[in-house]
């Protein structure tokens, strides 16, 4: 058997997926993968990264099963010529390979007989009856079809009786004893936690989408010594392959004796982080799957703060808003003031093209949540945060219920403008334009 160099490619690729990643790199990745969502969220620089690594593995183990078989059949017809090869074999040889299946085919066709399992007789003693060469190729590994070997000293003619449907026939019978080799494959495919935090079931299902199911398995371990004493033993030095092969072997039913192992594996890094949704003012979680793959990474949001609430809640809010509008209640005016204020704060924060983390934090503190707004109203805020260019201000965006409310709004706008210690011209111009056009609509 030719010695094969066992590849270290898998191990190198796996270790590359365990490289450190900083919170800054994570934020940059989220911004790149979710450019419309990122302006609406705040990831604190001190947010802990909950990192996990998952193993995906495909395994093929091969078990060798060797059994003594016995075939006895009438010495009659064409089988006499076919069996001459066995009768005339060199009796000095302990075992000889069966090079043709013709005798088995003829016996099955003429007599409907098949070889039967039978223990090897104690006499005559045969040296190492189960040790003989295995068909093996370095790239393909152990061949699925292996030669059977017969024992010349056990080839003989005996007197016996054959039981057929129509009659019993007594006479001479050929007797052939041989060892057949079966290569039994044991396949396994799975996803398991290598280290870190166990992910939620929904996340694990998403991780499965990143499993490489096509790359062929690579040879890891070979040990045929028990069955072919001329063979060599090979073992991988890859610590991950050793761990996976041991774990998988322990899961195989009936504890098979594996003599060859082929394996493919990959490490899939995942990072779970918390973030604040600026407008909803809620703390949410996301998991970055395949986190070191750049644009090929995937972000799973554990919840949807922008999603629908229960229909009943939304209907109640809409009806309440309609009645408030009819009666011009103080509650309605307060909500309208707040809606326009949030609208303007978002515009000031993003007028220079980027909503900085400090601006996001200030927005979150000032807004404090959107529970009083309907889903449709919240969506308008979310869309405004996502848009590259905000739409033109309309007259209804500039209406406030009193001078006092308007003055408080301008104070908030200036806080956002100065949050980074520098007021940008675009921010100043926008606030000045709002001052000139603001409308006070008193009762």
Is pLDDT above 80 for 329? no
* In the block, residue with structure tokens 């499993």: 211
Is pLDDT at 15 greater than 60 in this prediction?
yes
208 compared with 378, residue with greater pLDDT: 208
Give 115 or 111, the one with higher predicted confidence: 115
Q: Check if the beta carbon of residue 234 is closer than 8 Å to that of residue 20.
A: no
- Please report which confidence band the pLDDT of residue 317 belongs to, taking 50, 70 and 90 as the band edges: very low
The pLDDT of 50-60, averaged and rounded, is 97
Q: Is the pLDDT of residue 153 over 90?
A: yes
Residue 321 has pLDDT above 60, yes or no: no
**Predicted confidence band at 315 (pLDDT cuts at 50, 70, 90)?**
very low
pLDDT value of residue 333: 53
User: Does residue 187 have a pLDDT over 60?
Assistant: yes
- Contact by Cβ (8 Å): 35, 83: no
Give the integer Cα–Cα distance in Å for 157 and 164.
20
Averaged pLDDT for residues 333-340: 81
197 DSSP assignment: P
- In angstroms, the CA 374 to CA 7 distance is 59
Torsion of CA 206, 210, 211, 214, to 10 degrees: 140
Task: Quickly list DSSP for 102-127.
Answer: HHHHHHHHHH----EE-PPPSSS--S
Q: How many residues comprise the chain?
A: 443
Q: Tell me the three state secondary structure of residue 431.
A: helix
Helix (H, G, I), strand (E, B) or coil at 156: strand
Mean pLDDT of 349-368: 74
- For the chain, what are the domain ranges? 9-61+185-301, 65-183, 311-440
In the chain, the N- to C-terminal Cα span, in Å, equals: 97
pLDDT tier at 314 (50, 70, 90 boundaries)? very low
Residue 285 has pLDDT above 90, yes or no: yes
pLDDT band at residue 29 under the 50/70/90 scheme: very high
DSSP assignment of 166-191, as one string? S-EEEEEEEEEEEEEEEEEEEEEEEE
Supply the pLDDT for residue 369. 63
Q: In the predicted model, is pLDDT for residue 318 greater than 60? A: no
CB 279 within 8 A of CB 28: no
Query: Which stretch of 14-18, 359-363, 366-370 has the lowest confidence by average pLDDT?
Result: 366-370
Which one is predicted more confidently, 127 or 139?
127
CA dist 37 and 27 (Å) reads 12
Look at residue 320 in the predicted model and tell me its pLDDT: 44
Within 10 Å of residue 166's Cβ, how many Cβ atoms?
5
Mean pLDDT value of segment 170-192 = 95
* Whole-number average pLDDT of the chain: 85
| Residue 87 to residue 155: CA distance in whole angstroms | 6
Helix (H) or strand (E) holding 149, with range, is strand 149-150
Q: How many CB atoms lie within 10 A of CB 277?
A: 23
Place 398 in a pLDDT band, splitting at 50, 70 and 90. confident
pLDDT score at 368: 62
Instruction: Specify the residue for token string 């993968």.
Output: 33
Rounded average pLDDT over 254-269: 94
How does pLDDT run across 63-81, given as a tens digit for each residue? 999 999 999 999 988 899 9
Alpha carbon distance 333, 330 (integer Å): 5
382 vs 115: which has the higher pLDDT: 115
CA atoms of 267 and 402, how far apart (whole Å): 61
Stated as kind and residue range, the H or E segment containing 220 is strand 218-222
Mention every residue, 6+ apart, whose C-beta is less than 8 A from residue 357: 42, 43, 45
pLDDT for 268 beyond 90: yes
Report residue 231 as tokens. 């063979």
For residue 432, the surrounding DSSP H or E stretch is: helix 425-437
Range with the poorest average pLDDT among 42-56, 100-114, 216-230, 324-338: 324-338
Q: What is the DSSP string of 283-337?
A: EEEEEEESTTSGGG-EEEES--TTS---HHHHHHHHHHHHHHHHHT-HHHHHHHH
């Amino acid at each position: 058997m030719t010695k094969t160099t066992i590849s270290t490619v898998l191990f190198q690729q796996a270790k590359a997926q365990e490289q450190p990643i900083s919170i800054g790199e994570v934020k940059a990745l989220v911004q790149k993968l979710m450019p419309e969502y990122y302006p609406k969220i705040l990831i604190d620089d001190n947010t802990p990264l909950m990192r996990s690594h998952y193993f995906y593995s495909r395994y093929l183990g091969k078990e060798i099963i060797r059994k003594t078989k016995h075939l006895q059949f009438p010495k009659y017809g064409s089988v006499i010529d076919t069996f001459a090869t066995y009768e005339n074999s060199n009796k000095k040889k302990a075992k000889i390979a069966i090079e043709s299946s013709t005798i088995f085919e003829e016996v099955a066709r003429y007599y409907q007989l098949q070889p039967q399992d039978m223990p090897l007789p104690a006499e005559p003693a045969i040296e190492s009856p189960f040790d003989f060469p295995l068909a093996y190729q370095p790239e393909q590994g152990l061949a699925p079809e292996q030669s059977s070997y017969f024992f010349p000293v056990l080839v003989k003619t005996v007197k016996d009786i054959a039981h057929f449907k129509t009659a019993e026939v007594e006479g001479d019978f050929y007797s052939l004893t041989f060892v057949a080799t079966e290569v039994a494959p044991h396949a396994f495919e799975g996803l398991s936690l290598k280290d870190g935090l166990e992910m939620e079931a929904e996340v694990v299902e998403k991780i499965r989408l990143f499993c490489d199911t096509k790359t062929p398995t690579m040879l890891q371990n070979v040990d045929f010594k028990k069955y072919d004493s001329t063979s060599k033993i090979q073992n991988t030095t890859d610590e991950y392959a050793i761990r996976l092969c041991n774990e998988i072997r322990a899961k195989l039913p009936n504890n098979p004796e594996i003599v060859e192992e082929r394996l493919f594996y990959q490490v899939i890094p995942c990072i779970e982080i918390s973030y604040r949704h600026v407008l909803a003012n809620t703390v949410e979680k996301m998991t970055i799957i395949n986190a070191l793959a750049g644009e090929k990474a995937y972000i799973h949001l554990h919840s949807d703060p922008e999603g629908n609430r229960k229909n009943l809640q939304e209907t109640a809010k809409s009806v309440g808003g309609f009645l408030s509008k009819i009666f011009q209640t103080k509650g309605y005016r307060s909500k309208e003031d707040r809606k326009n204020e949030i609208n303007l704060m978002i515009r000031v924060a993003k007028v220079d093209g980027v909503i900085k983390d400090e601006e996001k934090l200030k927005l979150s503190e000032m807004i404090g949540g959107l529970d009083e707004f309907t889903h449709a109203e919240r969506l308008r805020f979310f869309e405004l945060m996502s848009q590259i260019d905000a739409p033109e201000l309309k007259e209804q965006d500039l209406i406030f219920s009193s001078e006092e409310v308007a003055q408080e709004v301008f104070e908030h706008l200036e806080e956002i403008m100065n949050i980074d210690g520098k007021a940008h011209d675009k921010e100043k111009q926008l606030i000045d334009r709002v001052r000139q056009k603001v409308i006070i609509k008193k009762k």
